[in-house]
Amino acid sequence: MTELMVQERQAEILRRLKQEGRVVATALASLFGVSEDTIRRDLRDMATAGLCERVYGGALAIGPGRTTLKQRIGVAAERKKTLAAAAISLIPAQCLVYFDAGSTNLAIAEALPDDLALTAATNSPAIALALQEKPLVEVILIGGSLDRVAGGSVGARAIEAMAHIRPDLCFIGTCGIDADGGLSAFGLEDAAFKQFVAARSRRVAVAATREKFEVSAPYTVAAADQYHCLLTEPGIDPARLRSVRDAGCQIVVAGT
Amino acid sequence: MTELMVQERQAEILRRLKQEGRVVATALASLFGVSEDTIRRDLRDMATAGLCERVYGGALAIGPGRTTLKQRIGVAAERKKTLAAAAISLIPAQCLVYFDAGSTNLAIAEALPDDLALTAATNSPAIALALQEKPLVEVILIGGSLDRVAGGSVGARAIEAMAHIRPDLCFIGTCGIDADGGLSAFGLEDAAFKQFVAARSRRVAVAATREKFEVSAPYTVAAADQYHCLLTEPGIDPARLRSVRDAGCQIVVAGT
DNA sequence: TTGAATGCTGGTTCATGCATGTTTATCCGT
DNA sequence: ACGGATAAACATGCATGAACCAGCATTCAA
């Protein structure tokens, strides 16, 4: 490896932190060909700068990088990751994809591979931040009034901004799925916006963990025949899925 | 290698910077057949002109991929907090405040007290997330194309969305402040958007740490008489501040 | 002759490795 | 489970050489 300057070395450490969630001091020392003291100094500086959390033996990432590490450990989030992996296989390269606000869609955005080139639109600041990390993704942010509960822009301005865009594919978030496969949301404006986006998209996908099948939210978003793909986990009552499939919807069960 | 003139040499250095992302002073010296002092002078000049980042041993390229918002957040975090505290005293309750993308403005948004009620607009996903945590703040997200370097929306859509809003106060971010107090930015679209926002706002404030006074970015945003309040730290050359004050601009020095 | 570009001198700062003593995690025997 | 042993990881201070800057001298062209 070519000799690196301080800033480059720290930048590289930061990159590894983001990617792997953690770094080991001794490994970095031999990797860069410097003493462990130097690495420790680097980590200390980066920690005081708030770029990482110093721990005995190395350092941990802060923020999303660290949550992905936690996700690797946590079982519940492991399911979302599986879902996300399956979702990504639905995305053709070089197309325009819309990501609706929501934690499941955030997981999909985070899981996008670095070598996938596409244009991504979203109404969620959190998803926008995640997408910003993907080098080949051009990000379009949909503005509007920020809905605290939904975690994304809604309202007239959001719809106006969305009217300029026709996604090839959209991932709609849902709060609940009723017996007939209908999607629902907790907010009136949120539901209206989802509806608008779904109507404009060539292809509508819904990624939902199994607990969504046990929730019914007050505002309807779309019936089963208004979306094209339902992405979910194993262990759902086959009768529920059948009714959705009968409406002409593709069912993808992740992890099978 | 044939002997080159200063401008040619610097242009060649810049070319190499763009291509390789970094240059080493000693290598350049032997390459051009000049003393290391000359190279250092070159790099120093180019750095003050905002063309590269000077580091011990050489220089690093500036721009996409090099310095992202995330990296800038950790820099001078403590000082930015002091700046933020002072900035908050400028904000009247119940008004519409715009926060431009940038790490300094992010610090201001994070420092907002929980009992302050206002409507906040921003083009930055990161700032939107921070504002979402404040219970009495209504958040308006400005959409558009997401600029990775600036960390916020820019472009036609962003301007269109902004045209519906007339902020009582806006905090504009700046990449550099020139000798006459003029603000500048690294991106063309970014600069254009800042300009548009500033023109629409009743009152324009700029919060800048001291290093901004040593940087000059390529695209101009606003002259000193086009903003109303400059918020900065102690230790700035008084002559610089005087020229800004002479333009009719209020100067607030945080932490004094 | 003036001014810009460059090289040189001396003193300063910076990054790094090494030596020292301290703290921490882990293992082990009770 | 508990307390001590042990080795790894750590912080600190210091030494060193490289990189740095300010200032002055030199060159050369306008």
Question: Among residues of chain A, what percentage have pLDDT more than 70?
Answer: 93
The answer to whether B159 and B121 have CB atoms below 8 angstroms apart is no
pLDDT for residue A119: 97
Distances (CA, A) of B167 to A240, B109, B199: 50, 16, 10
pLDDT for residue B63: 56
Round and report the angstrom distance from CA (B24) to C1' (D29): 31
A52: closest CA of chain B, how far (Å): 10
Question: For A41-58, what is each residue's pLDDT tens digit?
Answer: 999 988 887 788 889 988
Question: For A172-230, what is each residue's pLDDT tens digit?
Answer: 999 999 988 999 999 999 999 999 999 999 999 999 988 888 888 889 999 999 999 99
Question: Which element (helix H / strand E) includes B232?
Answer: strand B229-232
Determine the Cα–Cα distance for residues A212 and A59; give it in Å rounded to an integer: 37
Round and report the angstrom distance from CA (B7) to C1' (C2): 22
Strand C closer than 7 A to residue B66 Cβ: no
**A77 pLDDT more than 70:** no
Average pLDDT of span B165-185? 91
Residue A17, judged by CB atoms within 10 A of its CB (0-12, 13-18, 19+), counts as buried
On average, the pLDDT of chain B sits at 86
- Give me the residue from A6, A14, A151 closest to B56, CB to CB: A6
| Sheet hosting strand B183-185, strand order edge to edge | B176-177, B183-185, B219-222
Instruction: Tell me which chain B residues have a C-beta less than 8 angstroms from the C-beta of A1.
Output: none
On average, the pLDDT of chain A sits at 88
Residue A251, judged by CB atoms within 10 A of its CB (0-12, 13-18, 19+), counts as middle
Phi and psi at A145, nearest 5°, equal -80, 135
The answer to whether B119 and B95 have CB atoms below 8 angstroms apart is yes
Instruction: Tell me which chain A residues have a C-beta less than 8 angstroms from the C-beta of B132.
Output: 125, 146, 148, 151
- DSSP letter for A106, please: H
Determine the Cα–Cα distance for residues A29 and B181; give it in Å rounded to an integer: 45
- Among the residue ranges A2-16, A239-253, B73-87, B154-168, the one predicted with the least confidence is B73-87
The answer to whether B128 and B139 have CB atoms below 8 angstroms apart is yes
| Sheet hosting strand A58-61, strand order edge to edge | A22-24, A58-61, A52-55
User: Does B164 contact A at CB distance below 8 Å?
Assistant: yes
Q: What's the token pair of residue B156?
A: 């036609």
Suggest the residue from B146, B153, B162, B209 to mutate for an interface test with chain A (most A CBs closer than 10 A): B146
Question: For B13-39, what is each residue's pLDDT tens digit?
Answer: 888 887 778 899 998 888 888 888 999
**A70 pLDDT more than 60:** no
Q: What's the token pair of residue B108?
A: 């201001």
User: Does B139 contact A at CB distance below 8 Å?
Assistant: yes
Number of cross-chain residue pairs from A and B with Cβ atoms under 8 Å apart: 103
Strand D closer than 7 A to residue B40 Cβ: yes
Average pLDDT of span B109-124? 95
pLDDT for residue B32: 86
- The residue that leads in pLDDT, B69 or A57, is A57
Maximum mean pLDDT: which of A46-60, B23-37, B49-63, B88-102: B88-102
Mark yes or no for CB contact A126/B125 under 8 Å. yes
- DSSP letter for B102, please: S
- The residue that leads in pLDDT, A131 or A114, is A131
The answer to whether A232 and A198 have CB atoms below 8 angstroms apart is no
Q: What's the token pair of residue A4?
A: 């690196």
pLDDT for residue B145: 95
Question: For B195-213, what is each residue's pLDDT tens digit?
Answer: 999 999 999 999 998 778 7
User: Does B140 contact A at CB distance below 8 Å?
Assistant: yes
Round and report the angstrom distance from CA (A43) to C1' (D3): 33
Beta-carbon neighbour count of residue B11 at 10 Å? 12
Q: What's the token pair of residue A68?
A: 């992905």
Round and report the angstrom distance from CA (B42) to C1' (C7): 14
**A71 pLDDT more than 50:** no
Confidence of residue B94 (pLDDT cuts 50, 70, 90): very high
User: Does B87 contact A at CB distance below 8 Å?
Assistant: no
Question: Among residues of chain B, what percentage have pLDDT more than 70?
Answer: 91
- The residue that leads in pLDDT, A233 or B97, is B97
Q: Which residues pair with A185 in a beta bridge?
A: A219
Q: Which residue of B has its CA nearest to A134?
A: B148
